[in-house]
Every structure is written in C-alpha cells, then in structure tokens.
Chain A
C-alpha cells in the first residue's frame, strides 16, 4: 500500500513515540481498526462525529504513546513490500472516515480452530499474508463459467493468470471471487468476511509482493488493489441486521440515485504564514488535526490550509433500492446508502441493477453538535468495494439466471421428486391458473411456452440464433377468460410484461430515444418487448393493435431482436421474448363458418409466426356446462385455507420453471429426430393427397421447440420420442382448432401461411376457368356487358357465385392477358 520511502519514514517516526501531535501527524493511510482493543486501553472516544470541536479532544488521540507502537506492530502497511517505487493509493473504501462503534468481537465465530488469533500482531499479519498468497498462487477453478475468465487456462492457477493480465493491461485492480476463497480455505474466507478492514490490506500486500516479484519492471499507475466480490453472504437488503456491521457483505439492488461527486480530503497541506514552512497532515477518520505550532519557527497558530495543494479523493453517494423481485408482497422497498470511492465513482447509473460488495458501516448521529445528547439512531451505509452490474451481461447474450436463483438442497430434491412422477406434465398444467376452467390443451401449450425450447446458436454457419421461445395466440369469444389467463401468466413469470394492444404504440412496445432534460444526453428507453427479454410478453387485445405496431412484432417474433434507428441511435436490442397474445374475433362473436384469418383479421405473415394458435370457444355442451358450474360454485365457498394451498402450488410451479429453464438444456436424440422427420413428412403427406401443402419448415421448427420444452418439463436432458409425440399431438390439436377449413372440414395449414385455404384457391381457379369457357362458347365477340356476363355465369354454374367471386375470376383472366375490363364492358384481347 505505501511506498517504501513513506513506510520508512513512518517507522522512523514511530520509534520516537512521544512526539507531539502538532508536529508529527500520523501520515498513515486509513488505519485498520483493531479486531481487539479489549486488553489494551480503549481508543479515545467518539471521533468523527463531533466535527465542531476537533481541536479540544484530538490532542489526546494523537499523543497517546501506545498508539503508535501498536500501529507499528500490527499494521500491514508496514509490512515489507517490494513495490519498487509504484505509489500506493489510499483505500477510502476500507478505512472508513468514521470509526464504527461497538461490535462485540468476542461473540463472533472466529475462535475454535482458526489460524487467526484475535490479538493481531506482526507475526499474525505475516502468517495471514502467507495464507492469502497461498490462495492466490494455487487456486485453480476447473469448472469456471464466468465470462471474464473466458480466455484463461482453467488448469493453471486462476489469479496468477489474472496478474499476468494486469501486467499486460495495466489496470491495477484484482477482483477476487469470495466463493473461490471459501472453497480453497474456509478459515481465510471467514476472516475476510468478519474483518475485511484488516484482511483486504493483507491481500493487497500479498498481491503486490507476488506481482512485483514476477514482473519487476512493469509500471502501474498505483499498486494493485484487491476487490473481493460475491461474498457468499449475498443477501437482500431486508435481511441486513446489526450483526452485519463492519462485515463484508454483498447485496443486490437497483440504483435509484447518484449524487454529485464529493471531493474528500485525504491529505491536508498547511503552510506557515510566517516562515512559509509547509507540512502535510493526513485525514484520520474524517478529521484533520490542524497543527497548532509551526515546527520551523515555533510560531503558534500560523499554519494555514492551502486547498489546492491538498490531496483529495473522489467520493460519491449512491442510493440503492431493493430489487422488486426480493420484496415481500404489500411492503415498500428498502433503500440503503452506498459510498463509492475513487474509480468506482460514476460506475453505475440510476436504474442499473447491481450487486454491491462492500463493508457495512454504522455511525451514531448527534442531535446537536454542541449538545451531549445523542439521537440514539445510527446512520448506516456501505463502503463499496466492488460493483457488478447484473443486467450488463444480458447484452452478451449469456444465460444470466445461472447465479440469479439459488435453490436450497431440499427444494431441488423436492422439484426432482416432482419431476420423476409420471404425470408431472398433467400435474403442472392443472396447477396453472386453477381458477380457469378446463381448456387443458391451452394450459399445456402455455406450460410449454413457460419452459421454452433450447437456445441454439448457428451464428457460425450464418443463420444466426434459432428462436427457442414459443409464441402462442389465443383467440375466441369475449368473456372466455383469455385476459385472466394472460394476467396469470404475467404474474407467474419473473420477467413478464402485460400490455394491451389498444393502448400500446410501436414506441411503447419497442424502445424510444429520449433527451434527458438535465444532461442533454440521448437516452434509450426500452419498451415492453425489450423489458420482457427472457420472459413473456402478454399482449391483450392483439387485434386492436395498429398495423404499424404489429409490424414491429415481425422481427421480434422470428429473429428475436429489435432494430432501432432513431435520432442517430442505431442499434439492435435483444428481445428474446415469448409472446402470449389474445385476440377477439372481429364480429365480436366467433363465426364458425369462417376461417381463423377471416375471424380475427390479422395478417397471415404474423399468424404464421405463432407456434400454437388456440381457439377459446364456448363449447355449448351440457356435460361441460355442468362441470363448469361445479367449478365456479366451488370457487365461491372454498375456505381461505384451500385457497392458500393453491398459492403454495404457484410458488412450486414458479421454482420448477425457473429450475428447468436454468439447468435443463435438452438435446434431440437419434430416435426423436427420426420421429420428428416422420411427423413432418406425415404432415406434408396429408396435404399432398389433396393437392395442397400442409406443413412448412416453420412448423417443423415449432415441433422441435415444443418437444424440447416437453423434455424440460420432465427434467430430461434428452428429447425422446414421447416428447415428440406430445408435441405432435398438441400441435395437431391447435391446428385442428385454428386451421380447419370451415368449407371442407380439413385441417389446412395454408390458411395460416397464406391467408387462404387451398380449397378456396382451387375454387377461385375453377370459377375463372368456367368464365373463360363461357366466353369462348359465346364465340368471337370483342366486347360484352359486365352485368350480362355475370348473369350468364350464374345461370350456368350449379354453385352459387357471388359478385366477389365473379370479380376475382375476371381479375384472374385479366392477369392472363385474356381480357380487359373497362368500366362496365369486358373486352377480349
């Protein structure tokens, strides 16, 4: 930490204990707090807070004789560092400006079997440094999955490679994962957590020693600082309690406010106004001991502070708020104050989700500086040591849930037990929205959507990402609890968005650029689709959406990205969202005589992007009615307890889905791929018999996704034939509902892919041919009356021919260059 010269100076001075404070302010960077001052005389009381009268009390602080000797023994700063001239940099993040009050150290779990005995002295500190060194030199993490370790050799000591990196890059910061320390040396880890203020400097020492031994010639801006992160005590803000004071903690939350930069004085520069003798005084815990006497000319009260020669460090206040996921229902989020120092300043912006590792501090508040009464409340804050943005990695397209949701052992075994049950699929689907009656297949479809397929990356072959998300459209009569289903899903998934087609614009769905009124900076504000990346976007009243809004969805639903070119910002955002949409029929009631397209009037290009399209219709069947009535009535008299049980199910379901999404990545096995091929060929065959195509590659992709999702439901790493079977069944079921040609009763995929059934197209063809024949039979007439031709055709044909059909036939013949229509006459060419 300190350069050799300064430490030498310190040692020289401290060998001469009773130096008056006025002459010899301790030039020590933030002094680590002693773990135990119990045997020794206690430290002078309550520094830091009574700013008003430093001069009176402070003399005692600095003139105490044991003080400096104690320093000499224990401070790792004096530890011999071979840093060869690289300046040390102060760590205001460790030595708080305020000394934290009482934490009863004896009660902490340090004792038994620990190699760190509490009364720290030189030897202990050295031993400790050795442990730290051993860790850094030897730690190997063969199973590393972190992205920043991507290009490192996993079989070599991890942190030595990182030092290597530092020597190349020149960024003197070493991030150390506390999880690594714990697996390597649990005692060391415990010490680190309990006494970060003492242990981190020893780590600093060890690292610098190692580094400058290996790379004696490298030049760094300052000495390397160790930044531990991921202290396993990661918790949410709510669980912080007084026991955590002065310990190393990691909490997650959202930044809501950042302050201006606060310059904090680290070293004050004084000059004597009589003889111009200058001296430096370091700030100790927020206070400067102003020299009362000039050492050179012995004039009293002649020293004046020179601001622009004093040394300042950066400091920033950050307000962190609990992330909404961590909150119990019905309560408001908590906030915590975090101080960032030096280069951590301005690392985070309001709105960022971060994991902060730091030391938790508490300081008493004084009611009035001139009063001895104290407000019996502490102010708490965290001195940040390390920031990690949690949403940053979303941009890299990595699975972020890896560390996000940790399950307890029992929970995992419970989930696995559940997964092993043969009827897990049915169980889960019936647990989904139990208040909505029946519609089993729809629920199954939504269940598969919640699990999603396996994400595949074909970017190397040029195809890009394959969509893994399953999109579902529900259409049907109003009042068939579509909205309720959507609401349920929205409440179930962690990253869900709910919008209504009526109220949302393209901008609200995608993203828009806004000028920040304060900074004049352009800011990208994300809309529902981007926000639900990796989640589900529920869109109600899909049919009410304007065309321009809908057009946005084309890209999202197949490429899973969102391109923006606005106000000079051109970018592509990830929007890997599943879409669950609900649409009402145009005529308010579903017309069974019409096709899906005709009923909901949505462009077929969009419809073909939905994997499953379900109709939610009123079945109008007595047995169904009876069951429905029973279901509803039971809803109205079940007691509170029974309702509670349902809630339990919802929690289990949530965890089950989260677990499967995180840990299960099924791949197709040989049999399954054969089955899929067969299924696809079968689907094509059905159609070809009647001269139409009934399946496209898109349907095959849907089948694969559904089969994968079903394998996930079973917690299986392999997609097997049963998965394919269920996928086939569900897909067929959905098709049967939505792609049945009302005229023929056959399933016809082209209704969805081209917007018109093959029979309809055939029919059109036939009418045109009949018309052509009719005209030919009339012989060589150059022109005919439109109305008369229409009447003739109607008279001739056995099927009813509407005017529309006639017009269409004429148009077809025009396209063939057979005739032209001008006004009310038809001319042959």
Chain B
C-alpha cells in the first residue's frame, strides 16, 4: 500500500501540500483533518498506524503518524504559536510563507516577526499518560493486533539505525550552524541515546527515576506524551481516555532547550518567568516525553482491545456485537461457575461479583450518582495470600485495575488525591486519578490497629467520598475542585468494612481446600485463554447495554414495595429499595436483557434477602453489632 505509507510516514507533507494549495482561507485546515479522518476510517487502517504504546519511541520515525492510547492527566495552559509565518532567505531576500501548524519549531530561514501575513493561532497542550492500571493482557493483545510492529526496517540492528537517524539530523543542522555548536549537539545527542536506549529496552521504570513522569500509579511504565490539540479542546476533560492520532515530534531542538535553559536564565532574569521545576514539567526532553500534534482523537469508552472501540460504527462491529449478545447467557453461567470456584463454592458472592464488575455510573441526578455498585466482600481470611490472588484473578478479567493495600503505612504515606504543585505548575497525580471503569481493589484485611495521621484521615475521607459520591476533590491548595469519576470499588475485609459500601456480602465458603494457594492456581489454570477472552468481552459488553423499565413492571415494583412495608415498615427503607433496583438492573444486564422482567425482579429480591439474612446471621455469631 504505497499511499498508506505516504500519509503515515510523511503526514507533514500532506499538511504542507494542502497549505500550499490554498493558503488564503482557513479552509485547508479543515481539509487536512478531514483527509486524515477519511484515511483512518478505511477498514483496518487504524492498525497500520504504529502505536506509542507498543513500539519503543526510538523505533518510530520522527514526524510520522502515530497513535497513542492514553488518559489525559493534566491540561496545560493554551499556547499561542505562529500558525502562518514568513521566512526571509538571507541570501536572496525572498520571502516565503510557511505553515507552523503541527510543528514545534520553525523551518529554516530567518523568521520575519513583523510580517503582515503572519497569523497567530492558539493550541492547547494536554499531558497524557498511558491508561493507569491497564492490565497486562490488554497490552499484549493490542500489541499482537498491531499490523505494523514487525516492520523490517526497524528491527535489525536498531542501535546503528538510530545513530544513523541522528546523523541525518545533525547534517541538517550543520548547514546552518557553526561547527562548535554542532559538536556540543552531537555530544548531547549521543549522551541521550546512551541513557535512553537501555532504559527503554530493559527497564522502562528507570527512565522515570531521573524525570518524574507523573504517572498516577506507582510502578507504571510506558511513555508519557505532550499532546498538542488544535481544535475543540473544550470537549476534552481530565481523565478522559483517548486514542490520539497525530504527528510525532521528537525534534532534538526541544530537548536542547531544556539543557540550555539554565545558562540563559542566568543571563536574563526576566526570561526566567518559569522556574526550573516548571521547565522540567512543561518542556521535558522530547526523547522521554515526545510531542504528538493531534490530527484526530477518538474518545474511548473502554480500553478492551477485544472489542471495536467505537460501538456500532460499522457493520462488522454490529455483527460482532450481536454474536456476543447471543451467547451472553452461556458465557455468564460459565463465568459464574468459575467465580464460584474462586469464592470456594459461594455462588451468591460470585453472583454479586459479576454484578459489581458490570456496574458503571450511567447518570447523575443532581449529586447522586446512579448505577454505582460498591461491593464489600467480608469474611475474607486475614493475612493470607487469598486476597492477593483474588485481585490477580480480577486483573485478568478487567481491562484496568489497581489494588490498594489499606495497611496503616500505605494509608499514611500514599498520595491518593491529586494535588496542584504551583512551583512546577502541574497537577501532581495521585492513585485516585483513574480513568472511567477502572476496578479499584481495596484490601482492608491488611489494615491493623494503630494511629492514622492527617494524611491517613484525608485518604480515608477521599476513599469515602469516592465510594459515596463517585467524585474526588483534587487539592488546589487554595481551594478544592471536584472531579466526578466512575470507578468500581471492591472492598475485601474481615468484618464489615469501615468504608461505606452499597452492598456487603459475607463470604461463606462451602469447601475448605487444604492448600488454598494450590487450589486457586489449578482453578485458574483450568481456564483457557480463549475462555478468559470471552469473559473479558462479556464484562465490557454487558456494561455498555441500555436499560429501561416498562410501566407494567414499575407498577409491580411499587406494589411490592408497599406490600413489604405493610408488614414491617422498619424492614425495608427507601435505601433498600434503591439497592434492590440497582441489583435488578445489573442482574438484567448480566443476562443481556435490556429491560426489567418480573422474574429478574423476583430474583433480585431473593438475592438481597439471602444476602441480608447472611449478614444478620453473621452479626448473631459475633454477638455484637458492628
């Protein structure tokens, strides 16, 4: 596909071409965007674009089209740039109009700052990180899906290749600059490669040690990116998941600036309106934090690579979806058996776990988030690897997840709530800055008696707010700002959790295998990867289904409620009804049914009944109220 090669390998050529064709109006800008959108729409075209998630940065060709699956971690200030500028050739004194869009630095030649043809434009910069807590399987599968990765030109003898590339750049630069500078340039370049190449290959975590890439979760890997957005930036929100298609810019000049900064700031105090920290945060070396000039971005509803990202866009996706829907029920029963094994034979807990994993905030009524279903699984054995293994199993099922061990040390030391750092002028991330539908696994069995300090109390409050209102109050020092979120919180604890939850299930194991660890491993191994993939698809599909309640059922539910209250008004409160309605909703969705049926309502009621009786029994056993 020669044409494909062209627009992927040299997108700036397309842009410049369009600019040269009609530089009078703003028309060309739209045309460029349309052109790339059309190209990407072609069946499978998106997988031809190399992804920053899969391919290490130095294998990618600068100024080529790349894609990046990411979350917006921070939004920087808008910047003004030269949209159109005029350069003067010093030898001939001729002037040329050039386009500055999708570029970081100007092309060769002296720029005429006072040109009357110049146009100043505005763009916005987003700091994007890979989706926090993305499961390993997501990465693997999307890696194998990409059709471009094993491209032969990159793989062999990569070191040599990258040196060659740099040499090319150097010769370019040489034309305009004196030798002395070029030498220093070469030094810097080679140094950069030395430090970067091994770290990218072996332990990507090392590269974050010298520069804090500000990932929400500790131990995350992958590149962070500065995404330059040219239009419609008001439509994006913090923590949105995006698939960005854009032009990769790793101009060494950008990194050089950071190095040079200290020297120049000494010379001119007025120049240093940015502190060193701010410099570091806002213009990190391009080798570590590449720039992407966005051509097109696709908001992601989920990051499950097994499903087409945009639901119901083309026919293939529709066919795929209907196929999944038809076998939803059978997958559900297999899944239930699997989870029942995991819960040592407790099928009720397994049912509730399924409901929990497909829950999602689907609307907000004034302050009340609807559809959240925080589950508290109590009765988990204290200090045994059971909870860890449970987390691993969940990790294998959901596309992104994170485990917080609620040990005293962790609670008192972890930074959960993102905080604005005014010196560096950026939002320092915290573990609660997560994308939509991330599974947050809170392990309360690790909590021991002791003193919570101020940070600990703040963290507990933040977790409580997250669970009750599905929002996190980011700390902006002078004020707090509320960011709504959609995070599935699962709490495992011995007794009732100290955090609020929508629903508490007390685990009642039916069997007690002598070697718990061994047992769980064998259960896990029994699942083929194709089986696991089915489950993964199941969760994502069930979550995205629409749902309604017919008038008839509404009537029935009302009757039921009145009936229940008649016998004993204390037994069922409005809150209980709330919960029952959520359970009924999720239960219907878990069977792939988009409206509530009588049977499901009754089943939901029974499940609730069983669950409540179990907790009450537990209370009796313990002899005291929690």
Contact = CB atoms under 8 A, between A and B. Distances in A.
Interface stretch (A24-32, A630-638, A666-674, A778-786): A630-638
Given A45-B112, A618-B573, A633 B484 contact: no
Contacts of A634: 554
A637 B115 contact: no
B546 to A, nearest CB: 8
Contacts of A630: 554, 558
Contacts of B264: 369
B115 A256 contact: no
Contacts of B578: 632
A286 interface: yes
Nearest to B573: A479
Interface stretch (B141-149, B375-383, B422-430): B422-430
- Most chain B beta-carbon neighbours within 10 Å: one of A52, A370, A625: A625
Contact of B558 (A43, A334, A503, A629): A629
Contacts of B270: 97, 262, 264, 286, 315
A371 B176 contact: yes
A128 to B, nearest CB: 25
B237 interface: yes
A503 B462 CA distance: 13
A54 B169 CA distance: 29
Main SS class of interface, B: mixed
A262 B269 contact: yes
B529 to A, nearest CB: 36
A374 B114 contact: no
Interface in A254-307: 254, 256-257, 259, 262, 264, 286
A373 B111 CA distance: 8
B562 interface: yes
Contacts of A327: 481
A646 interface: yes
B547 A637 contact: yes
Contacts of A633: 549, 554, 557-558, 581
Interface string B232-256: 0010111100000000000001101
Contact of A380 (B80, B549, B596): B80
Interface string B250-275: 00011011001000100111110100
B547 A334 contact: no
A103 B118 CA distance: 8
Interface string A471-495: 0000000011100100110010000
Contact of A435 (B75, B115, B365, B422): B365
Contact of A374 (B106, B238, B577): B106
Contacts of B457: 503
Interface in B539-586: 547-549, 554, 557-558, 560-562, 565-566, 569, 573-575, 577-578, 581-582, 585
Interface in B78-104: 78-82, 85, 100, 103-104
A308 interface: no
A629 B363 contact: no
A761 interface: no
B306 interface: no
B77 interface: yes
A622 interface: yes
Nearest to B181: A370
Contacts of B81: 376-378
A373 B481 contact: no
Nearest to B80: A378
B105 A51 contact: no
A241 interface: yes
B548 A637 contact: yes
B59 to A, nearest CB: 26
A480 B576 CA distance: 12
A256 B420 CA distance: 11
A421 interface: no
A374 B107 CA distance: 8
A323 B565 CA distance: 49
B574 A628 contact: yes
B176 A372 contact: yes
B532 interface: no
B110 interface: yes
Contacts of A625: 561-562, 565
A155 B234 CA distance: 47
A102 B113 contact: yes
A85 interface: no
Contacts of B420: 332
Contact of B370 (A371, A628, A635): A635
B472 to A, nearest CB: 12
Contact of A331 (B75, B80, B120, B548): B75
A336 interface: yes
B367 A491 contact: yes
A703 B118 CA distance: 67
B116 interface: yes
A636 B483 contact: no
Given A254-B478, A491-B367, A626-B558, A334 B77 contact: yes
A768 B424 CA distance: 74
B313 interface: no
B609 interface: no
A43 B558 CA distance: 80
B365 A330 contact: no
Interface stretch (A158-166, A360-368, A599-607, A730-738): A360-368
B177 interface: yes
Contacts of A643: 363-365
A17 interface: no
Contact of A503 (B365, B461, B574): B461
A332 B370 contact: no
Contacts of A487: 367, 469
Contacts of B557: 629, 633
B549 A102 contact: no
Contacts of A245: 80, 120
B121 interface: yes
B237 A351 contact: no
B443 interface: no
Nearest to A315: B270
B20 interface: no
A456 B257 CA distance: 61
A660 interface: no
B320 interface: no
Given A330-B237, A633-B554, A376 B104 contact: yes
B479 interface: yes
A503 to B, nearest CB: 7
Nearest to A104: B116
- Most chain A beta-carbon neighbours within 10 Å: one of B100, B122, B270, B554: B270
B602 interface: no
B110 A43 contact: no
Given A328-B234, A334-B77, A367 B176 contact: no
B109 interface: yes
A377 B79 contact: yes
A488 B367 CA distance: 6
23 contacts: A46-B114, A51-B268, A51-B271, A102-B118, A104-B116, A257-B422, A315-B270, A317-B273, A329-B484, A330-B237, A334-B77, A364-B113, A368-B256, A372-B176, A374-B82, A374-B111, A376-B100, A376-B103, A479-B575, A480-B574, A625-B565, A635-B581, A646-B365
Nearest 9 CB-CB pairings of A with B:
A330-B237, A435-B365, A629-B561, A242-B120, A637-B549, A629-B558, A378-B80, A620-B569, A487-B367
Interface of B: 74-75, 77-82, 85, 100, 103-116, 118, 120-122, 176-178, 181, 234, 236-239, 253-254, 256-257, 260, 264, 267-271, 273, 362-368, 370, 420, 422-423, 425, 427, 457, 461, 469, 476-479, 481, 483-484, 547-549, 554, 557-558, 560-562, 565-566, 569, 573-575, 577-578, 581-582, 585, 596
Given A46-B114, A257-B423, A639-B548, 15 more contacts: A51-B271, A102-B114, A329-B237, A330-B238, A331-B236, A331-B238, A337-B273, A371-B176, A371-B181, A372-B176, A380-B80, A433-B366, A618-B573, A620-B569, A626-B562
